[in-house]
Amino acid sequence: MATLTAVDIGYNAVKALGTNGATAHFPSEVGTPITGETFSMAQAKQARMVIKRPEGQTWPVGETALKQSRYHAGRRDPEWVLTETWEVLLCAALSEIHKGTVNTSLVTGLPLEHWAALADPLSERLIGEHRFKRNGGRWQAVTIDDVVVITQPYGSLLDQAMADTGRILPGSPFAEGTVAIADLGGNTLNLLVTDALEEVGQWTQGDGLGLLPALDAIARDIHRAHPGITPKAREVSSWLAAGSFPYQGKEHDIGPFAEPHLEPLVNMVLNRFSEAWPEPGRYSAVLLTGGGALALGKSLKARMNGVYANVTIAEGAHLANVRGYLKLARDLWG
């Protein structure tokens, strides 16, 4: 049986899973095209991510782009899913999941706000052959035979409502009740409400409120205090998870730099909840998910308890969407 693929390409990170057990997780960074070769030990070359496309350009991707390029193509507009930058990130993800020339079926997702306009054009771009080389190796072709594009927060819903086999979990409150899902990403806030897995349109909405502007502000403040480094948003995201950042060989508490920017964001997110979900008593459970839930989830949950019932932070929230995509793939084609 062909390996099935799930890919979640966000503004901050790329996540991918395959039914063969392969995984990928790297920054959504594409650097300037490489015109020459750099020296690396064999072990370092194995970890590199350099993607060559048939058009002739060779692109550093992910951590390799952060290390090798001063400029990074980090677009934050919705149409980037129809650009070469997004295609390069897709090929990099596919290179982590598949080896050689293969056929696959794929599930991916889009922000709620842009799904209606972009799902069909993206599906058309995804169907067919994707050719690339990784790290100067042989040409690889991954042909996508079938594709389904869903809304990103629906992936987190399915992750809660489905078993790994793709079957609905009997008695799951996320499969049977009226539930609210808040998916906070780098440049998106997806607010989804479902009743027995069916979207409830009047309480479902998405907008551009996300974590990246706060990460940018934290990075600027760290740079002002420590001019010897110019952090990138991706670095700040990992430092928040660790609680500290490295400078001149020592770890420094990130809290004083983060709190002035994260607390206002928590307030803005709660205001969005109040606007989108004015009747909190209607929901049997609320799920906080997405990469932003790692940074804001505990603060949000503390202030939501007593107003909303059964507030849960998704386990491994940054991977919840892509886990749900893979479960749906198993249900559709497994």
Domain annotation covers residue 27 = yes
Report mean pLDDT in 10-residue bins for the chain, 334 residues.
93 95 94 66 61 90 83 69 95 96 97 96 98 92 98 98 96 94 94 97 92 95 96 89 94 97 97 96 96 94 96 96 98 95
Q: Do residues 207 and 115 make contact, with C-beta atoms less than 8 angstroms apart?
A: no
Length of the chain: 334
Q: Do residues 189 and 293 make contact, with C-beta atoms less than 8 angstroms apart?
A: no
Backbone angles phi, psi at 187, to 5 degrees: -135, 25
Domain annotation covers residue 146 = yes
Tokens, residue 295: 């940074």
Q: Do residues 123 and 22 make contact, with C-beta atoms less than 8 angstroms apart?
A: no
Q: What does the alpha-carbon distance between residue 151 and residue 61 come to, in Å, rounded to a whole number?
A: 25
Domain annotation covers residue 282 = no
Which residue in this structure is represented by tokens 């793709």?
A: 166
Domain holding 112, by residue range, is 5-151
pLDDT of residue 43: 41
Domain annotation covers residue 324 = no
DSSP state at residue 33 = P
Domain annotation covers residue 228 = no
pLDDT of residue 70: 65
Domain annotation covers residue 125 = yes
pLDDT of residue 41: 44
Number of domains present in the structure of the chain: 1
pLDDT of residue 233: 86
Which residue in this structure is represented by tokens 């990075």?
A: 219
Residue 250 bridge partners (DSSP)? 247
User: For the CA atoms of 143, 148, 149, 154, what is the dihedral angle to 10 degrees?
Assistant: -130
User: For the CA atoms of 164, 90, 75, 32, what is the dihedral angle to 10 degrees?
Assistant: 140
Domain annotation covers residue 215 = no
Domain annotation covers residue 317 = no
pLDDT of residue 37: 53
CATH of the domain at 101: 3.30.420.40
pLDDT of residue 238: 87
- The per-residue DSSP string of 248-303 comes to TTEEEE-HHHHHHHHHHHHHHHHHHHHHH-S-GGG-SEEEEESHHHHHHHHHHHHH
Q: Do residues 209 and 189 make contact, with C-beta atoms less than 8 angstroms apart?
A: yes
